[in-house]
Amino acid sequence: MKKFVINQIQHFSLHDGPGIRTTVFLQGCNLRCAWCHNPETWGVKPSVSYTDSKCILCGECARVCSEPVNCFEGQNHYFDFSKCTNCRKCLEVCCTGALEECGYECSVSELFEDLMNDSRLYEVSGGGVTFSGGEPLLQRESMEEICGLLHDKGVHIAVETALSMPWSAVMKLSEYIDLFLVDFKLFDKEKHKKHIGADNELILSNLMQLSEIGEISIRLPIIQNINSDKENAENTAEFLKHLEKRIQSVELLPYHNFGVEKAVHVGLKQNEFEIPSDKCLEELKAVYRRHGLKVV
Ligand code: SF4
Ligand code: SF4
């Protein structure tokens, strides 16, 4: 039986496609956006998260842990993520929630059953299921299986993806997917590599091929001084314009700093970026509209 590694399931979601949806956030990402708002989904395997403000220094975790992870000095508890083997013994004894699981395994059939519990909501609202992450296409085999099952039941399926995957993975899933929510970050190849950890050639090529067969909504995270310039918007809009028949909408998502604190809880460090001004967002929207794209 195939399994997923899930970060969390959000019921009654209103922002990830049409109608009322159940959004499944999957673990694992092959990109490293410097401003990622879900850095806790980067790891593909289940792990442990630690929240310092919830720790009451009881020392129970250190008692059951056989690795040199926990160090107590005065009123401080230092948690060394690099030494943790993810055995999860400490989760059973931490009564405050300072230590929590980050990601859990779930079989395709268990997830399918859970998702179908909301099927009436999907029907009455014109909603469905959205897979997000992380990069959902990394859990390709499980995705193919569950999307096939949901498709057979007539459930609308959306996938939020960066499309930085071999075309074969995208094409196979496109048989079942009603809407691709494509996160597109930067048009310039070198800047893309610098801020995201990979260039965007594969993404652009996949977008062009996908636009021949699938429905697409583009999501553009806007980060001040990174991709908030008009040149990036002009180049992106010019590219999207030629895929226009399949681009349902372009959505501008201003940066927020939620990822900074979430990164700390899983042993990562994230710098804070500037939030774009309303004026900047209006100017960028105008660029996309001028190219005939529907901006939401
Ligand atoms: S998951 Fe295991 S190794 Fe990691 S801190 Fe907890 S008890 Fe120690
Ligand atoms: S068991 Fe939880 S509350 Fe107790 S010291 Fe460990 S992390 Fe802190």
Pocket test for ligand 1, best of 64, 77, 83, 84 (most atoms within 8 A of CB): 84
Please tell me the residue having the least CA distance from ligand 2 atom 2.
Answer: 94
pLDDT of res. 188: 95
pLDDT for res 265: 95
Q: Is 48 in the pocket of ligand 1 (CB under 6 A)?
A: yes
Tell me: do 158 and 197 sit in the same domain: yes
| Residues 7 and 145 grouped into a single domain | yes
Q: Domain count for the chain, please give it.
A: 2
Choose one of 50, 54, 77, 80 to mutate for the ligand 2 pocket test, by most ligand atoms within 8 angstroms of C-beta: 77
Say if residue 275 is in the same domain as residue 235: yes
CB of 76 within 8 A of CB of 54?
no
Determine the structural domain holding residue 207 and report its residue range.
3-42+106-290
My answer on whether 88 and 230 are in the same domain is no
> Measured over all CA atoms, what is the biggest interatomic distance in the chain, rounded to whole angstroms?
63
Assess whether 90 and 209 both reside in one domain.
Answer: no
Both 193 and 64 in one domain: the answer is: no
Q: CB under 6 Å to ligand 2: residues?
A: 55-61, 77, 93-94, 96, 98-99
3-state secondary structure of 77: strand
- Assess if residue 131 is contained within a domain: yes
CATH number for position 116: 3.20.20.70
User: What spacing in Å lies between the alpha carbon of 222 and ligand 2's midpoint?
Assistant: 38
Which regions in the chain score pLDDT beneath 50?
none
Using the atom order of ligand 1, give the atom closest to the CA of residue 89.
7
Angle between helices 167-174 and 201-210 (to 10 degrees): 30
Closest CA to 262 of 52, 74, 37, 84: 37
Residues 51 and 121 in one domain: no
Ligand 1 pocket, 101 CB below 6 A? Answer: no
CA terminus-to-terminus distance, the chain: 40
H/E stretch holding 220? strand 216-222
CATH number of the domain residue 77 falls in: 3.30.70.20
Ligand 1 atom at minimum distance from 86 CA: 1
Residue from 191, 240, 199, 245 nearest 219 by CA: 240
Q: Given this model, what pLDDT does residue 244 score?
A: 65
Residue 296 maps to a domain: no
The pLDDT value recorded for residue 243 is: 85
Does 96 share its domain with 143?
no
Q: Please give the sequence-ordered ranges of beta strands (E in DSSP) within 62-163, or none if there are none.
A: 70-73, 76-79, 99-102, 104-107, 128-132, 156-161
Q: What is the model's pTM?
A: 0.93
pLDDT of residue 166: 95
Same domain, 97 and 173: no
Same domain, 117 and 201: yes
